[in-house]
Structure 1
């Protein structure tokens, strides 16, 4: 059975305010070890996706800090010690000092990240 950790995940993404270590598992899921070092509302980067929102579901656990997801039915904030499920149709708000572990369907996550990446490049 596959396993990974923050220190040996095969992909690392670093940018101002964000550090992520990702591993794609057979069976179609990606695990992400994420750390936020700056507050950021990422809504603008989801433009172009259906309803301008993330189309991947996420199952996660907040190790430290908090993370907020904005949805059509309102905002939901998860804090240290919370396990959570966020269905497709949301945008994230990151809070400095937060670390999470999150699992997402790889295909939907990659489709979302492709659009977010293009929008981030265009903004710089």
Structure 2
């Protein structure tokens, strides 16, 4: 199982924001430099996180990105699903068979993983 690099950058970005001063907003350039990634690429990731309500964007000279007011409740799963979407990781080739035993096993494992990721909050790492 593999998540995209975008998920990696999103998780690190949210952690950087959580560890920064709550009053300070971080710009895309600074966040990109910390992760050695293109600011243009990171901007696309940040836009997804803004759309999901995980972070806020403030325009202007003193603008930048900051966490949502209730950031302590943001889980790894929230961030992952904000980037990757909420579709299942497993796509059974026999979708017409609702009794597929392989699909049942894979979906149960995915559910367990999601539960684990839901319990881990970004605030746990700060």
- Normalising by the residue count of structure 2, what TM-score does the alignment of the two structures yield? 0.26
Structure with the largest fraction of strand: 1
**Structure number, greater radius of gyration:** 2
- Normalising by the residue count of structure 1, what TM-score does the alignment of the two structures yield? 0.27
